Chain A
Amino acid sequence: DTAVSQTPKYLVTQMGNDKSIKCEQNLGHDTMYWYKQDSKKFLKIMFSYNNKELIINETVPNRFSPKSPDKAHLNLHINSLELGDSAVYFCASSQDQTDTQYFGPGTRLTVL
């Protein structure tokens, strides 16, 4: 059973489109995250939710909007996609905010 799952695994789209990435965890964790990993493998946190409440919102364009319908799901919606949004996006979860994190397999987003 996959602990943290993301869909889709690959996403290729045109500039200006709106897209969503979904994440689900079955670990019973309270906290979920979205990270962006660029081509140099630099991993940067974007958002963190604890029990459906936003607790971390790093300097991310407001074209990115996370949504947590329940504590097992954290989706990421991106409006008006730009070339610079191309990256691998990872979802993760943990019980506490500085505890061990469990990562999903990643979604490779390519904006053309």
Chain B
Amino acid sequence: SQQGEEDPQALSIQEGENATMNCSYKTSINNLQWYRQNSGRGLVHLILIRSNEREKHSGRLRVTLDTSKKSSSLLITASRAADTASYFCATGGGGGNKLTFGTGTQLKVEL
């Protein structure tokens, strides 16, 4: 079964608003990563947060990790139309030496 599940499955917001996506997982992890996939393209790594970290920032991205709740969130501030994509969380270190991807959140940012 999938290690990570994202919520919501789809999110539609207006440009300039913030977008928050959540990821829950089941087993212990070494790290949690977020990836973006534009339509028809490969996945692009956004940010990696280790199990001993609670929050990480990269530009307009903010990721939190709560290992006690086995959950993470990705916040995109001041969204732009170009942020329209699918966002996946991936957990590393749980269930073997591999990344296990979540089900993804489809984000649409409208002008």
Contact = CB atoms under 8 A, between A and B. Distances in A.
Interface of A: 4, 41-45, 48, 55-56, 90, 92, 97-106
Given A98-B97, A98-B98, A103 B43 contact: yes
Q: By DSSP majority rule, is chain B's interface helix, strand, loop, or mixed? A: strand
B86 A41 contact: yes
Interface residues of B, number: 27
A98 B92 contact: yes
Contact of B99 (A101, A104, A105): A101
Interface of B: 2, 30-31, 33, 35, 37, 40-45, 48, 86, 88, 90, 92-93, 96-101, 103-104, 106
A98 B31 contact: yes
A93 to B, nearest CB: 11
Contacts, number: 56
Nearest to B103: A42
A99 B48 CA distance: 9
Contacts of A101: 33, 43, 45, 90, 99
A31 to B, nearest CB: 9
Contacts of A43: 43, 88, 101, 104
